[in-house]
Structure formats: structure tokens, C-alpha cells
Amino acid sequence: MSLIELISGVEAHEKVLTVVNADPEAVDSLREHFSDRNISVKSGTLDGSPQSFVVLSRDGEFVTAAGVDEILGLSSSTEPGFETETYRPILDHLDETMFTSYSIGKMVAASREIEDRAFRIGRGQLHSGFQTLSVLAGEVPTYNRIGSRDGLDVHAYAAPEGDVPDHDGFTIHVERAPEIRNTWFVAYDGAGIDQNKCALLAEEREPRQFYGFWSYDPSTVDYIISHLTTSYGFVETDGGDSSDPSDLLKK
């Protein structure tokens, strides 16, 4: 299953967010908050519970619940926090819900949370797709910084449009596959710890508009990374050269 097929599989499952015991203004705020997500927002009441909360269901089955304030209080910062304690993520825990039309700014903001987590932990593998080398060139300073963590193995994927940028501390895979050209992804393996695993995956269906999802589900994250390493990995010869050096630039 390709990355684009994985996106389509998530898209096929309907999700409903039921807002319980909340005032109409809060319901309207949540509808606006999720206006670019493939999700239906409804209101409901529960006797005997004074607190307001939201319940997410998929295909009629319970997925998760959260407080209204928790959802509405998410930050939209696009600056990487890395070692800054004040960094706040913009990805909510309603994972594997399709977003429908994310701009470049929102995609960068969503990517930063995963990059920040990988940097903070400083171990494991981070795999990021930039579509083209020309896009990757603008992110080299950030990825040089992330790749400076000795225990973190960082891989960047891009189609051969533009020059290969000078870089240090991470591996660039130059690939011609359509899914590399048409998707934006960031996947972190959590250094082997399931609770730390996370991924963002989106397809550019309209010019600079992205449709996809994020996930904290370990099996989904593992699948994305396995697909990347299996499809675009390499085997070194005894001489240390890659089997196809035109498609890989090592650290």
C-alpha cells in the first residue's frame, strides 16, 4: 500500500465530533476550528454531568474524548521550539482525522511538533518528505540542527527538482517516485517507544493545498517508516558505495 493509498484509507472512515453540555458559542467555535477537517461537529446533552466535553466517534464507534477548553486552546505557532520550554504543539489528539485543505503555513506548523519531539528525545529515526530538492533547500538549517543530535538518524526525501543543497548531519534520498513528489510527510519512530511515535502524512491535491492526517498510532507510524525504508532504502556494497549512487546522497 502506497502513501497515497494510506491517505485514501483514512479518508474513507467518517468521524463525528459530538460536543456535550456546551453552550452554542463553544459549538460554533469548534465548527470553525475544524472547518478544514473532514469531520462533522454535532451538539448533545448528558444529564447529571455539569462539565462540557467532546466525544469523537468513527463509523459509529467511540474513539476518544477531551475537554472543550483543551481542544480550543491549541496553539498555531509555526516556530520550531526544540529546546524552548514554551513550545506548544498544534496537532490535537484527534489523530487519523483527515484535514481537507491545509496551507503551507499549517503544514509547517504541524511538522514542527514531530520534529521538535524527535529533537528533544534525541534518539531513533526521523523521516521527512519535502517533495522537491528546491523545497528541501529552505529547510536545511532546521534539519542540520535536528541532525546534530548524535543518537538521531535523520532522512530527507525529495524529487530531483532543483540542486542538491549542502547539508550536514542528515541523509538526503533523491527519488523520482510520484508519491515522493506529491506527498509531504514527517514520521518519527519514537526511538522504539510506542508512546513517542507520531507521523504526519498529506497529499498535494491542489496547488499548495494539502489533504491528509496525523497519527500517534504506533502501527500506522511503523507502517509509514517501513514503507519508506523498504521502498527507498539502499544496500551498501563492500566498498561502502550505495547500489544506486545517483538516487542517494549520504551524510
Question: Which single residue is written with the C-alpha cell 521527512?
Answer: 128
Strand order in the sheet with 248-249: 99-102, 209-215, 198-206, 183-188, 123-132, 151-159, 171-174, 248-249
Angle between helices 140-147 and 104-121 (to 10 degrees): 20
Task: Give me the mean pLDDT over the 127-149 stretch.
Answer: 97
Q: C-alpha dihedral over 139, 38, 198, 171, to 10 degrees?
A: -30
Task: Give me the mean pLDDT over the 30-58 stretch.
Answer: 84
Task: Give me the mean pLDDT over the 148-173 stretch.
Answer: 96
What cell does 115 get? 520534529
Q: What is the mean pLDDT of the chain?
A: 84
pLDDT in tens, 163-189: 999 999 999 999 999 999 999 999 999
Q: Which contiguous run of DSSP H or E holds residue 182?
A: helix 178-182
Structure confidence at residue 183 (pLDDT): 98
Complete domains list, the chain, with CATH: 3-72 (3.40.30.10), 99-249 (3.30.870.10)
175 DSSP 8-state letter: -
pLDDT in tens, 48-95: 766 888 888 888 888 888 888 777 765 444 444 444 443 344 566 667
Q: Which of 39, 1, 70 lies closest to 219 in space, CA to CA?
A: 1
Cα–Cα distance for residue pair 25/229, rounded to 1 Å? 47
Task: Give me the mean pLDDT over the 13-40 stretch.
Answer: 87
Of the listed ranges 69-73, 104-108, 226-230, 232-236, the one predicted with least confidence: 232-236
CA 103 to chain CA centroid, Å, is: 14
Residue 36 confidence (pLDDT) above 70: yes
Structure confidence at residue 107 (pLDDT): 92
Structure confidence at residue 155 (pLDDT): 97
